[in-house]
Amino acid sequence: MISHLSGTVFFKGLKDVVVDVQGVGYRVFCSAETLKKIPEKNEKVNLWTHQAIREDAHDLYGFLYKEELAFFELLIGISGIGPKSALGIMALAPLDTLKRAIAAGEIMYLTKASGIGKKMAQKIILELREKLAGESAGEAHELASDADVLEALISLGYARTQARGALQKMPSTVLSTNDRIKEAIKILGR
């Protein structure tokens, strides 16, 4: 199994990147968040990978951090969740936010991913909640606040990816939902 790649970026697409490792190009599927952080062509990159072998394909899925790979492998370990669905779930929010959503039992948060219905979201929560235990009630409130901020920004006309980016850049000192919306608008206006 290929578990790590270290090389230079040969090509960067919308869903994948080709990493040149000593003259061999490996096509690696990545989440949108990972692709944003991957450097441009001819720059060095290190990716943790998961190799998915099927009858008709041998695919690599890549992550910048070992924690992302571990979470991805937890997701695909659930019956009915394939690698593409797992990437879709991981594209919803930063890893910490996803973990809090699962720990807090936020079914509606997970159903925002393409192909994930209410029953599958319940199954994900059921199977992963104990593995992700230890999240506090305060974090669950913070998650609900972030969801409110995200929806408010979208209703103001910002794209979901822009809104998520603003939430990631949000200082931890901004606590109330209204203040978080105002701060996100300032971030987006820069």
What was the pLDDT predicted at 150? 81
Residue with tokens 């009915």: 80
Supply φ then ψ for residue 64, to 5 degrees.
Answer: -75, -25
Q: Is the pLDDT of residue 140 over 70?
A: no
What was the pLDDT predicted at 122? 92
What was the pLDDT predicted at 162? 84
The total domain count for the chain is 3
What was the pLDDT predicted at 136? 40
- Write down which residue in 42, 63, 84 finishes a domain: 63
Q: How far apart are CA 113 and CA 52, in angstroms?
A: 21
Q: Do residue 112 and residue 155 come from a single domain?
A: no
Q: Do residue 57 and residue 88 come from a single domain?
A: no
The residue type at 72? F
Give percent of the chain above pLDDT 70.
Answer: 93
Q: How far apart are CA 145 and CA 180, in angstroms?
A: 9
Q: pLDDT (tens digit, 9 = 90+) per residue, 154-177? A: 888 988 788 878 877 877 777 778
17 three-class SS: strand
Q: Is the pLDDT of residue 144 over 60?
A: no
Q: Do residue 141 and residue 170 come from a single domain?
A: yes
Q: How far apart are CA 98 and CA 155, in angstroms?
A: 22
Kindly state the helix (H) or strand (E) to which residue 102 belongs, with its residue range.
Answer: helix 95-103
Q: How far apart are CA 70 and CA 77, in angstroms?
A: 11
Q: Do residue 98 and residue 56 come from a single domain?
A: no
Q: Do residue 70 and residue 56 come from a single domain?
A: no
Say whether pTM exceeds 0.85: no
What was the pLDDT predicted at 20? 96
Q: pLDDT (tens digit, 9 = 90+) per residue, 16-36? A: 999 999 999 999 999 888 898
CA distances from 189 to 147, 166, 184 (A): 20, 10, 9
DSSP string, 24-49: EEEEEE--HHHHHHS--TTSEEEEEE
Q: Do residue 46 and residue 86 come from a single domain?
A: no
Q: Which domain holds residue 181?
A: 137-189
Q: Do residue 29 and residue 41 come from a single domain?
A: yes
What is the mean pLDDT of the segment spanning 93-113? 83
